[in-house]
Structure 1
Amino acid sequence: MSTLPTAPGSKGKNTALILSVVFQSLYLLSLPVWYFVSMFSVMLFDAPGSETNWVILLFYYTIKSYPFIVLSAIVLTWIMYKKGSYKWTYLVNAIPILIMILCIGLMAVFGD
């Protein structure tokens, strides 16, 4: 059996499309979980003096910025995909993952 001819550069296009759809589906599924985490994030400031702790402030604002970063990454990914910058779609899709890693890292290092 012979394979069908493909256009030059279509492999990167197909890979970028599949990865974008998979990652962005996972990001959208994570938003309801974020809602509950965000709802209870104000309790980070219950301990006296915690409102001046830079780690808690960084963690709090990272949690609060997550949906904006996800939506921005989704929009930017499709703009890059439309322009044909398939390598940039991988980098932009990784931004929400970096936010998750930052939150988990802050909890692991500075958590009680």
Structure 2
Amino acid sequence: MGATKTEEFTQADIVIAKYAKALAHPARIAILRILLERTSCICGDIVEELPLSQSTVSQHLKELKEAGLIKGDIEGKKVCYCIDERAWKEAQQLLQVMFSRFTSCNTTCC
């Protein structure tokens, strides 16, 4: 979607799309699972748990951070990542609202 067309969508739809894009790779889901199991995590620990190179993990962390789902603090030469609680709750609420709108149509059309 071109950037010029985003004004034609609701702010909620734009935010949901931002979070969905960040969630659209299995490596990012795995990273989020690791972070959810801990209160914080140093990037090196994440690399040890995934079958990916340091640079690939860093790229996925960057995507999650740009979407706002995680945050990171520099501690010396390492960056400590954790879930951004505010954004996590926002994503959860927006997705819940969207999913709760589904009602079965009880037809065999699809």
TM-score range, shorter chain: under 0.3
Q: When you count strand as a share of all residues, which structure comes out higher?
A: 2
TM-score with structure 1 length normalisation? 0.27
Greater Rg over alpha carbons, structure: 1
